[in-house]
Every structure is written in C-alpha cells, then in structure tokens.
Structure 1
Amino acid sequence: MGERKGQNLYYPPDYDPKVGGLNKFMGTHALRERARKLHMGILIIRFEMPYNIWCDGCKNHIGMGVRYNAEKTKIGMYYSTPIYQFRMKCHLCDNHFEIKTDPGNLDYVIVSGARRQENRWDPTENGQIVPETKETQKKMFDDAMFRLEHKTGDEDTSKLDKSRLNKLVGRNDKVWNDDYEANCALRRNFRKRRKELEESAVNDSLLLAKSSLDINLLPENEDDRNVAALLSLRPSKSIEENQNCMRSKIMHSSALPSSSGLLSSFGGLKKEESLSKQTLKTLNLGVIVKRKCETEKLDKQINENETLNKCDDNVSANNDVNVSVNKVSLVGDYSSSGDNSD
C-alpha cells in the first residue's frame, strides 16, 4: 500500500521537485491540524486513559481505555528517557486534566484535574504469580547463597501445589476435552437462562403497565417475597393509632348508659378520621331504631297510666254514688218510721 500513496496526491502545475516534498512546497505539515502548536513544543496525539479516574470538574467516572485528543509536551528527562505530559479536556464537562509519565515506576501520574480510582491490591494475597522485583533479581545475580535459598523455596512451593495443579488440569481436560459436548452444555445453559429472562421481562412489563410506571425493575429474591407477604398481612392501623382512637372514644363517650350518652359517643366517633361513612350510617340507624323503641315504650307506659287513672276515677265515682244512696235510704227510713209512729 505504501507505493500507492503517491498516486493519490495532487501536484499543482507550478510544483518544482527541486524545492522538496509536496508538504514543504505547500508550506504545510504532514500531521496537518495536529501540528498547529508544534512551534510551542506541543503535539496533539490520540491518548488512551491508562486507568480509571474521577473527574474533579463533574465528579463523573472515566473508565480505562477512553481516548482523548491530548496535547503532548516534553517536560523533562529520567536519565536518558524523556518525560511527557498530556493535557486533555473531559468529554462530560469543561474541566481539563493533566497526566504525565513516570518512567522510574513504569506508571502514569495525575498532575491535576482528576484523581485516580484506587482499586489496587497485593497480588500475593490472591495467589497470583508475582514477577521478581529488580532488587531481588540483582541480589540473586550477585549472591549465590541467596540464589540457592530462593531456588529451594520455589521447589518446596511447587511440591505443595503439585496436587492442586493436577486437579485443575484434570478438571480442565474433563470439561474441555470434547469440544462438542462442552459447546452443547454451554448452549443448553444459555437457552435456559434466555427463557428465564424472557419470562421475567414479560412479567415486569405487565406489572409496569398495571402500575403505570416507567422504571427498571430489579430481579426479585426470597427476601423481597417475605417482605411483601408481611406487608400484605400488616394491619391498617398501628398500635399507637389504635390507642389514640380508643382514648378519643372514651373521652367523647358518656359515663352513664343513656341515649344522650350514646349519641355523644357516636358524635365523638364521627370525629375520628378512621371511621368510614358506611359505619356512621349503620350507627345512626341503630340510634334511630333505639330511640324509636324507647319512644314506643314511653307511649305504652303513658297509655297504661291513663287507663289506670280512668279506672280509679270510675271506682271513686261509684263509691260516691253508693254513699249518697245509703244516705238517702237512711233518711227515707227515718221519715217512714216517723210517719208510722204518728
């Protein structure tokens, strides 16, 4: 492809090969816009983020591998190795951050505008193979006794880990020896998991449509089911609310069991917010029925009293008549007896 690049260039009619190349003749740089600050010692390159960072401007996370157009500048030397600094703008805000190389530690250092996400750990703690440091390598090269002790320690470690390594190798051969069976097992598990995800998506869509929500639902677990069951059995009122309702009922009720006290107690119950309208109608109907019964009883008693009074009046009138008759009869007897004597 290199020999074809010259055919794609445009050479103007006044081009003179004696001047030099086409870029020199046109007064341009081969890197075009990337070299617009080259006179200031700045070259614009494509820089890839070496690790995860947090932007100090917008506080957002920027992952490792994100690429930027960075201004590359040489700021010093580490022995014979140059130290470069890169300045770039965050793609989420107007903040700029600067990162420089650290040849001594084979790493990158953040100068300003961001901070590194610390997720480093000791590889020896999780069983990783750690390469020897420069100090250890130098000591092994100079000290024969240290090299012998180090070699003996490595042999002892290999003997201890030999059985575990053999189990891992055997398991690997058992699982991946037959490529067809391994592929079938993976595809079988994949189909099962895909069906579960499809059913879950259908159930979630129905629930969201029923609740008129537009959120992402998390997969449910056993704890969620237990909490939902407890919430469904939870009473409508708490213990404190029930106590307050009972106190209010006692305060608004009468001490004596009378109709007025009953009405006042019902009036107090009407003030409670937890009592429904249907319950109030039922209670009022009961009061009306009770009052009607009491009125009928009072009317009955009044009728009975009136009847008794009439009977008493009749009896007293009869007694008066009898007395007057007796008196008349006595007078008549006396008169008749007097006449007879004459």
Structure 2
Amino acid sequence: MGERKGQNKYYPPDYNPKKGGLNKFQGTHALRERARKIHLGIIIIRFEMPYNIWCDGCKNHIGMGVRYNAEKTKVGMYYTTPIFKFRMKCHLCDNHFEIQTDPGNLDYVILSGARRQENRWDPLQNEQVVPETKEVQKRLFDDAMYKLEHQAKDAQVAADSKPVLQKLVERNMSVWDDSYEANCRLRAEFRQQKQEIKGQQDLDRQLLAKSSLDIQLLPETAQDREMAALMKLQTKSALERESEQRLELLMRPALPGATATTFGGLKRQKALNNHLQLEDLGIRRKKLKEPQTEASSAEVKSQSLVGDYSSSSEES
C-alpha cells in the first residue's frame, strides 16, 4: 500500500507541477495547524510529561505521562545536541509552564509555572544494580590494574549476594509453587479483611446513629485507648463528689485559729466518717425503694451526735 500514498492526494485542475509540490502550490505547510507559528521558530507537538509535577497555578498534581499540545522551540546547543524548550497550558487552569531538555544530565528541567515532585533516591541505598558512569568506564578501559581490582570487587559482591538470592528463590518456590493453594490462601485473607472492614463499618454506623453525628470516624489506635482509660479513672460519680465536699465542710474548723485535732481529734473524724457512711446507706436504700421511717433516721442522727460529744468529753 505504500506505493499508493502519492496517488491518494487530490490535485486540483489548475495544479502546476512547475511551482513545486502540492503543499507549496496551495500555500500550506505539511504540518497544517501545528506549523502556524513556524515563522517564529515554534512547532506545535504532542508532549508527554516526563515525571510528576505540581502546577503553581491551581496547586494540582499532574502525573507522569499526561500529554499536552506544547510549543517546541530550539533555545541552544549542548555540544552538538540541540536544547529544546516546551511551553504548554495546564488542563486544569489557565497557568502555563515551561520545561527544557537537559542533555548533560539526561533529564528535563522545569523553567517556570510548575515544580517537580521529588521522589528520587540513590539506587545504591536499596542495593540496585547501577550501570557504571562514563568516568569509571573510561578508567576501566585505560587502567588495567583498576580493571582487575574492579573485577575482584564485583566477584566478592556476587559471592556475598548468592546465599541471599538462593533463599529468596527457595522461598518463592515454596510459597508460589502451587498456584491453586496460593490463590485459595489469598482469597481467604481478602475475605477475612472484608468481613473485618464490614463489621467495623457497622459499629461506626451504630455509634454515629446513637450520637446523632454525621462525621467520618478514624480507626482506633493504641493511644486513643490509653487516653480513654485515663479519662475513665479521672471521672467520679456525682455521689462521690458530694460526699467528699460534705466531709471537707465537716472537717473544717469553726474558728480561724483552730486546728484539725480540736474538739475531738481523731475520734471526731471517725464519728464524722461513720455519719457519712450511714447517710450513704440511707441514700442507697432510697434508691432501692426500701421503706425507711423518719424515726429511724432521727435515731441514727442522735446516736452519732451522742458519740461525738462523748468522744470530745473523754479526750478533754
């Protein structure tokens, strides 16, 4: 079909071959709209994003591989390699950003309008196989002793890595040898995780319905459990707080110069404690709906007061 490409073009009746090709005769460019700025040295190309970037206009993330219609311009030379600049418009806002080739480092450089998402690392840190640099290659070609030392070092690294690689191969064979068993195991794990997630969602839904809230609950952590336990220890019931305040008022001396041991001392404190305990028992009986007459309560109060005065008289 290649020999028929030249015959598929439409030639108008007034076409004159002496003027040149068909594009030159019609006064158009072969690139059509892509060459509308060719008089300025700009060609419209389809540019693919070489890495992840952040747009400075809308602050959105643009992933590697997203394609744009970019204006390609030649801005310089790196020895015999041309340097090109690409200008394009963000598809999410009206911001334009410019990217330029960097032949010296085999990379692209952002000039304006965006910033690069830094996710680069040294491949030697995670024990990746790294090709030799040009300086090392040149030294290996020129220096025979350096080449011999380099080969000995490579052999030692290979010998050290061989047991680890063997263990990884054996583990891989033992885990994934039977594809049916591996598939069943993975499906069982996924099913269990799905049930746990569904149960947690049901609990969260019940808690939100009980509290009349419409928020997103985060997963529980160990720190949350510790804080809840501490808050539970710190909280006291209203009855306990009331009894403590009453005991503090009763133990407070009536005169400014009096001490806690005046008018009865320790025996008075014990009597007051007994009095509070009897009052607590009376409150609990009322809660349990047990009958209790006013005469019995008055009798208990009189006994406590008699014990109080007897203790003070004995000490005095």
Under TM normalisation by the shorter chain, which class is it?
0.5 to 0.7
Query: Take 1:207 and 1:26, find their aligned partners in 2: how far apart are those partners?
Result: 75
Equivalent residues in 2 for 1:54-65 (5 A)? 54-65=54-65
The 5 Å alignment of 1:326-337 reads none
- Where does residue 104 of structure 1 map in the other structure? 104
Pairs aligned (count)? 245
Instruction: State the partner residue of 1:133.
Output: 133
* CA separation of 1:78 and 1:236: change in aligned 2, threshold 3 A: farther
Aligned equivalents of 1:137, 1:13: Cα separation in 2: 60
Query: In the alignment, which residue of structure 2 is the partner of 1:36?
Result: 36
Once the two structures are superposed, residues 83-104 of structure 1 have per-residue CA deviations (whole angstroms, 9 ceiling, x without a partner) of 1111122334333221100111
* Secondary structure class of the residue paired with 1:132: coil
Partner of 1:165: 165
User: Partner letter of residue 141 of structure 1?
Assistant: F
The alignment status of 1:114 with 2:129, answered yes or no, reads no
Q: Which structure is richer in relative contact order (CA contacts within 8 A, separation 6 or more)?
A: 2
Aligned residues: CA RMSD: 3.7
Which structure 1 segments of 5+ residues have no match? Answer: 257-342
Q: Percent identity?
A: 68
Q: Which runs of 5+ in 2 are unaligned?
A: 256-316
Q: TM-score, normalised by structure 2?
A: 0.64
Quickly say closer, same or farther: Cα 1:128–1:25, change in 2 above 3 A: same
CA contact (8 A) 1:68 1:88 kept: yes
Q: Give me the whole-angstrom Cα distance separating, in 1, the residues matched to 2:115 and 2:152.
A: 43
Take 2:213 and 2:99, find their aligned partners in 1: how far apart are those partners?
45
SS at match of 1:123: coil
Residues 217-266 of structure 1: CA distance to partner in whole angstroms, max 9, x if unpaired?
Answer: 332233323333444554389xxxx9xxx8xx99xxxx79xxxxxxxxxx
1:62 Cα offset (Å):
3.2
Specify the structure having the higher radius of gyration (Cα). Answer: 1
Deviations along 1:187-236, whole A, 9 cap, x unmatched?
22222222222333333344444445444433223332333344455438
Deviation, 1:159, is 1.3
Report what 2:123 is aligned to: 123
Tell me the SS of whatever aligns to 1:159.
helix
**Higher helix content, 1 or 2:** 1
Q: Structure 2: how far apart are the matches of 1:92 and 1:121?
A: 30
Report the Cα offset of residue 26 of structure 1. 5.1
CA distance in 1, matches of 2:156, 2:42: 55
Deviation at 1:138, TM superposition (A): 0.8
Query: Once structures 1 and 2 are overlaid, which stretch shifts more, 96-105 or 108-117?
Result: 108-117
Name which of structure 1's ranges 213-222 and 140-149 shifts more when overlaid on structure 2.
Answer: 213-222
User: 1:26-54 deviations in whole A, cap 9, x for unaligned?
Assistant: 54444443332222221222222222333
